[in-house]
Amino acid sequence: MTSASQRFALVTGGTRGIGAAIARRLAHDGYRVAVTYHGNDAAAQVFTRDTGIRAYKWDAADFTACQAGVHQAETDAGQPLDILVNNAGVTRDVTLHKMTPEQWRTVLEDDLFACFNMSRAVIEGLRARGWGRIVNIASINGQKGQFGQTNYSAAKAGVIGFSKALALESARKGITVNAVAPGYTATEMLASMDARVLQGIVAQIPLGRLAQPDEIAHAVAFLVHEQSGFITGATLSINGGQYLA
């Protein structure tokens, strides 16, 4: 069995929120870790300073940038990627009758197309080496839908379907592909919500609280573990009982 210290993991959108928690957890477990980000240079600098984890800046919605970025990360590490966590994504919440084509396209590109771009950049190498782990971060709203999120719900539902299909294509090559569908999680984005709206969200969760980013990271760590090799094509829901699929 290969030890975690011999595996190289990349987490997209990994300098803040759930992505940062995943990167920290994988590093704690002994993996070699790198992260990507797109816009917030200050947050990336703080993250790297605090963790020692290298952060690369590129747009996961840009196919060519993903190809070049993965190549650079592997070159810098002196080894190929073994584990990919597709976490990068955005929201542009608005009801469909007011949604612009740009708001629709931006979310589909950043949340769904990015999964294709990044997975395409690593899949040939994983197949050639006969081992790999891909974990795609979906959402409870890709399972149940959400008012004002036709774009986001469609993208995250697509991530779940993408994960199942790629799992079927990759199984005989020793590669597992799974999705994690978090419920509402205590991140900066939720912290900025109106308190009454947040109270309403928590009231719908049977456990009576938000998820913590470390709880989502724990699920990812489980799925990428050497001993999780018989789990593929699954969607792991972490939502406090808010939606039972």
Please confirm, yes or no, whether 152 is among the known catalytic residues: yes
C-alpha distance from residue 134 to each of 147, 151, 226 (Å):
29, 23, 13
Residue keyed to tokens 């629709």:
104
Is the Cα torsion angle 97, 59, 161, 178 positive or negative in sign?
negative
Catalytic residue among 37, 56, 152, 184: 152
What is the distance between the alpha carbons of residues 219 and 224, in angstroms, rounded to a whole number?
Answer: 9
In the chain, the amino acid numbered 226 is E
Q: Give the residue numbers marked as catalytic.
A: 152
